[in-house]
Amino acid sequence: IYYACYRKGAFHKADGARITTIDKLPFKTSDGDLVYDAAARKARGWIWDIALDGEAPVIVFAAMPTDKDHRYRYARWAGEKWEHHEVAPAGPFIASPQEQHYSGGIYLDHANPDVAYLSRQVEGHWDLGRWETADGGKTWKSAKLAVGDKATKNIRPITPRNARPDDLAVLWMQGTYNYWTDYKTRLMAWPMK
């Protein structure tokens, strides 16, 4: 997983170093910041979301040592380097064996990237929770928002951008999900505090 951002006609690393300008594209992925080297860990890494905490980027992603062992991770630019920590085990893939890299999902609260909403398998069912860190992702406190059962999954959370305090905090899919073309879900919502 690499990071680069675009500002005022140029691409930059997290420390502000310029990679290239828009008129000199393309650039190599490896010219950006290496955030997570999945290949070195004999795993896969899939991005879920990115947000800014002030000027510092925060990324959540799934690391997959195996198709049946997805793990959510939280990466934060710490001023001089990227730091990343595991948030929680996510369980296996959510869909049929044809899509073994589909995790339940993790998404940041863009107003407060110390908060993430995530779907994970717990005791055979897919629950949705609100997770919060106060130390850059080293430790987490969690609260369940929705508990699934063996037939009903709570997956794919997202947070609305620029929400007002009385708006919704998180939306997610609830129902059966077998494949990207074979699902029967409804949208669920959880209000702000």
Q: What is the pLDDT of residue 192?
A: 59
Ranges 45-49, 65-69, 154-158: which has the least confidence: 65-69
* Per-residue pLDDT at 99: 80
Residue 97 has pLDDT above 80, yes or no: no
pLDDT digits (tens, 9 = 90+) for 72-92: 999 999 999 999 999 999 999
| Segment among 43-47, 135-139, 163-167 with least mean pLDDT | 163-167
pLDDT at 148: 84
User: Residue 193's pLDDT is what?
Assistant: 54
The phi and psi torsions of 23 (rounded to 5 degrees) equal: -80, -5
Question: Whose CA is closest to 133, among 55, 48, 73?
Answer: 73
- The stretch 19-45 carries a mean pLDDT of 95
Task: Report the share of the chain in percent with pLDDT over 90.
Answer: 76
Tell whether the model's pLDDT for residue 106 goes beyond 90.
yes
pLDDT digits (tens, 9 = 90+) for 115-141: 999 999 999 899 999 999 999 999 999
Q: Express as a percent the part of the chain with pLDDT over 70.
A: 98
Quickly state the pLDDT bin for 18 (edges 50, 70, 90): very high
Average pLDDT, the chain: 92
- What does the pLDDT look like over 144-160, one tens digit per residue? 999 988 788 999 999 98
Residues 91 and 67 sit within 8 Å (Cβ to Cβ) = no
How confident is the model over 176-185, as a mean pLDDT? Answer: 87
Token pair of 132, please? 């919060």
Q: How far is CA 165 from CA 58, 144, 162, in A?
A: 22, 20, 10
Instruction: Give the per-residue pLDDT at 163.
Output: 75
Query: How many angstroms separate the CA atoms of 48 and 73, rounded?
Result: 10
